[in-house]
A and B are shown apart, each in its own frame.
Chain A
């Protein structure tokens, strides 16, 4: 009894419970769901979502929001594709270029929000529009293909693969999942073991007090957006290793999924509370829903409906809980004595 109560003190527990229930349900409906191959395959395609969500997590922790993840990722894919066509596909250099592009965009967002005090929703809406306009103008909507083998080969690397590859099954952990795990571990360490990470929590929890004890709130904000940009950069590169071609329109509306994963993971939209673990659970929940819709042969058009409803449900529940707690707080200390 007590253990259960303790378990549900963590916001992440609700998502975890839903995930377990979904896994049981989907396994009953379709035996292929709970197979190594299925998980390796859907986690591979959702690694982009997971990595991007880690970036947006930091921004939301500061109490801001970032709806430019889709534009930034698309920009990175186009930049590295064009770069590779011009200078060749050394994977290491491509990674650097991708991360740098994302980081640069993040700095711009951060400065708009921290220094010019433009509300983050407007600032990132504007940069997203500019980026998407620029991409369509530049690519004319055309796909970029013919990327060098040297780079695309990276996307097929498997870890822990057994020597026998049976008829076309995956059999091993795709490198993209590893990237996501590494990104999650790094983000965890940044949030947990750097003053930047603790500052983000302090800023999101009580901005005035953070300033008072000596944090530089503006710098923290810029750095959080920059870190988000880095993650979008990584997401863009990882996406390119999966698809091996680049479609600048592929990410329209993707920011919805990213924010959805973060919010579902129990991260408070008003800042200060949330974890890498929760964000990964949020990503997992969204991925399982998407995969479940495919396996149960429900039209993929249902995806955005289900995701939208789940998000509305999650944020409403959050608010209702906050209101209920507010009502319960004791304002006056009534002493039991009679006068």
Chain B
């Protein structure tokens, strides 16, 4: 110990190998956080940290999603749709839509075609018909080529599916009343588009669904009032013979938003009361958490299990894993339901969330939490377990439980490499080594998991005056990254946090008079009037935190 230690050959080799190994494996670090400062404009303090923001990675993930969506309706390049996942594609479209609509709310003052085209094209893609697009249509993938459920349910009457008479209601068809797993999502996608872009594009169609669901839930389908609706459970089936809680939370949520947007009172009529009570009485487990499907009648082609309890109709579907009379479970359905039902029943979600975590989660490590599909069979891990993680991560975000959100997100995302496009504009996680179909899910899933606006928050309409606020109506979208963009109606200033890659022009509408853009509290050169109430701001490459105001 008296002399200075000298490195040995082994140590030198270990050092060199560490450098080489470390350099070769340097990747997948967390993306940068959005910088937020503050500035004083005309004596008013604008602290950018007070406003919601997007990260660089969130915008890059959106750009990847944008590339997937903005192609001809029958094209699915990059979606990696294998034959076993047809039945999931329309869910991809729906939840992709919900994820990006939440993102749009973060930057509510940025409403160019860059955002609206993606939302519009998702709606159109969701409604592709077999007649027009054959096997590439959602009608084919979701309705006529199902790989789940039972056959022979494309044409259906209730209650007698085979020999109907005047007492039976026609409930078949892609857009029919017994396909809430498509109609609910389709209408909600349209309604969210209206909420965020306010141009009545889909008003007639989604309003028709509002009426149709009211008819299904409050009449016998033949023109006579009945509180329990056509299926005498106050709920709407996905397949003509079975109902799911989560699928019904979509039209329930739709009804809340419809009322908030259009000043109607569908919820107050009690159209969902019977169904919500039915769920609590008939579709929960011993912990009060939602169970899997409930049969309203026996499906055509149903086979009882060889041994064990007999499946009853109507009744909860029995769990084949345990085969002891307990109901079938689905963790993803619980997470999805709690996510969408919170607006209507906040106490249910608040009480059930910790119970859900207790029974449906597994600790992997301090930084990773894995959600499972069923506590009856924790030894399996398949598509439905991954779905449970994808829904639970957004639920945790909505509940403000960011630690759980981050732990689930770590579990979901850590096994994949981030891949950036050559131009640095888009990013996705490469899942091709495991499940190629997952790639699009993880791209929008990043927004779904992390943008700071919840599903619940979108059920509220924007204030009526919102549509008079100044906003960015057009821009050189492909040259910029918008992290923050919103009008502050109290401080009467437009907050803009933007990175500019190449010189870009942004056009603002709705300013009452010529605005001035401030950076660091100092005015920039005047904006250019471009007709009407529109003013153009041209920015050279750089990152800007700007406040635009007409005061001073």
Pairing of A with B:
no
